[in-house]
Amino acid sequence: MSINIGIIGLAKSGKTTVFNALTRGKAGTGTYSAESLTAHVGMTKVPERRLKVLSDMLHPKKVVPAEVTYIDIGATVKSLVKDKIGGELLNRLSTVDALLNIVRAFKDESIPHPEGALDVERDIGAMDLELVFSDLAIIERRLERVETSLKGAKPPECQTLLHEQQTLLKLKGELEKDTPVRDLKLTPEETKAIAHFQLLTAKPMLIVVNIGEDQIPQIASLETDLNSRYSRGGRRVMALCGKLEMELTQLDDAAAEEFRATYGIKESGLDRIIMQSYELLGLISFFSIASGEVRAWTIPRGTTTVKAAGKIHTDMERGFIKAEVISFNDLVKSGSLAEARKKGLLRLEGKEHTVQDGDVITFLFNV
């Protein structure tokens, strides 16, 4: 699956700065207008040290990492809901797999905070309300249509509509109490009934607190504190300095690593964002070897081998025979595929085998 992550945040929180850092982009970081009906869109490679190890061992002609697409919606969610012009942007945001909420904690007198003062807790709450506001607008419009449809519905259709109405009224009541859909324990039937609405509060969300360079030494304590208050279900909190991370993308990897060391930063904040996003979405990676190419693929945890084959190509799923599987660690210990085969570490698995994170797979199929 291709991962799409929507970047949201209140005005002057540094959304586009973080977008540029994530995608090595050069989007303007000034005021963004909803009326432009455009969004910043960029892709980034998923950092994967195991690909380098596999490349050194197997010497493929081509190495292909997985990718993540980031969509920076410049306007606030609330303004998009209120303004019909913003409908296209809101629709685009509704299709993402997860949300990245940028919350401002940096001081900059040249960019005054719209509320006059910094307050992370207030701004997290404000964005939660914007997302609730958006979902309530969708649900209320749908309830009106359901009520109209019920007037002329025949018995089988009537039953389906009544079930949908009951589910929507339940969600409406919870949202009016400021409870996001992701925190509700919905039945499989209820989840199916609302899936196509793509409600924003149902999506996993990573809150990224955008700090100043002077706050970098406090990252660990800040994250511990905020996660104790806001981390639950499909929500996590992390902190990074967006301005510094954007500047580091202009350096080569060695220089960036050296620069981070001067701040005592052990790993890229951007790599951490991707890894946290994977965890929130329940995603893992597997590696395919075929035609002189080693490629990383992203799949949901619990995916079977036949479905993983379909991730590469539908023909592979349709004509699936077997999958030759070895764990990344077993392959590294063996030193080569030939040696792993001698040791009996390469396994032939059928359709129902569950792919594990780091599995190296060669699919056997016939169409």
d(CA 1, CA 312): 10
pTM of the model: 0.89
CATH number at residue 341: 3.10.20.30
What contacts 158, CB < 8 A, 6 or more positions away? 150
d(CA 263, CA 217): 8
Is the confidence at residue 89, as pLDDT, over 80? Answer: no
In a domain, 289, yes or no: no
Q: What is the mean pLDDT of the chain?
A: 90
> Which tens digits make up the pLDDT trace of 209-258?
999 999 999 999 999 999 999 998 899 999 999 999 999 988 888 898 88
Residues 26 and 98 in one domain: yes
Looking at the DSSP assignment, which residues form a beta bridge with residue 210?
104, 240
What contacts 199, CB < 8 A, 6 or more positions away? 94, 135, 138, 139, 171, 181
Residues 108 and 8 in one domain: yes
Is the confidence at residue 83, as pLDDT, over 60? Answer: no
Which has the closest alpha carbon to 77: 119, 142, 137? Answer: 137
> Which tens digits make up the pLDDT trace of 110-143?
888 888 899 999 999 999 999 999 999 999 999 9
- DSSP track, 61-106: SEEE--EEEEEE--S-HHHHHH-GGGHHHHHHHHT-SEEEEEEE--
In a domain, 243, yes or no: yes
Residues 165 and 254 in one domain: no
Looking at 201, 216, 242, the residue that finishes a domain is 201
d(CA 204, CA 185): 14
Is the confidence at residue 79, as pLDDT, over 80? Answer: no
Give the range among 80-94, 209-223, 296-310, 334-348 with minimum mean pLDDT: 80-94
Residues 108 and 221 in one domain: yes
Residues 148 and 222 in one domain: no
Is the confidence at residue 351, as pLDDT, over 90? Answer: yes
Residues 312 and 216 in one domain: no
Which has the closest alpha carbon to 274: 98, 63, 93, 20? Answer: 98
Determine what percent of the chain is predicted with pLDDT higher than 90. 70
In a domain, 288, yes or no: no
CATH number at residue 175: 1.10.150.300
Is the confidence at residue 87, as pLDDT, over 80? Answer: no
Residues 224 and 236 in one domain: yes
Looking at 153, 182, 201, the residue that finishes a domain is 201
Residues 247 and 261 in one domain: yes
Burial annotation 343-357 (CB, 10 A radius, 16+ → b, else e): eebbeebeeebebee
Amino acid sitting at position 97: D
Is the confidence at residue 200, as pLDDT, over 90? Answer: yes
Is the confidence at residue 291, as pLDDT, over 90? Answer: no
pLDDT, residue 154, reads 84
Number of domains in the chain: 3
Helix axes 219-230, 120-150, angle to 10 degrees: 30
Does residue 6 or residue 91 have the better pLDDT?
A: 6
Looking at 245, 280, 315, the residue that finishes a domain is 280
CATH number at residue 72: 3.40.50.300
Give the range among 67-81, 164-178, 245-259, 278-292 with minimum mean pLDDT: 67-81
d(CA 30, CA 26): 12
Confidence of residue 84 (pLDDT cuts 50, 70, 90): low
pLDDT, residue 287, reads 97
> Which tens digits make up the pLDDT trace of 305-322?
999 999 999 999 999 999
d(CA 56, CA 264): 30
C-alpha distances (whole Å) from 51 to each of 45, 56, 62, 359 are 12, 9, 11, 12
Residues 98 and 195 in one domain: no
pLDDT, residue 6, reads 95
**Strand ranges inside 195-330, DSSP E:** 205-210, 235-240, 283-290, 293-300, 320-327
- For residues 13-20, give the mean pLDDT: 92
In which domain, by residue range, is 105 found? 3-48+64-112+204-280
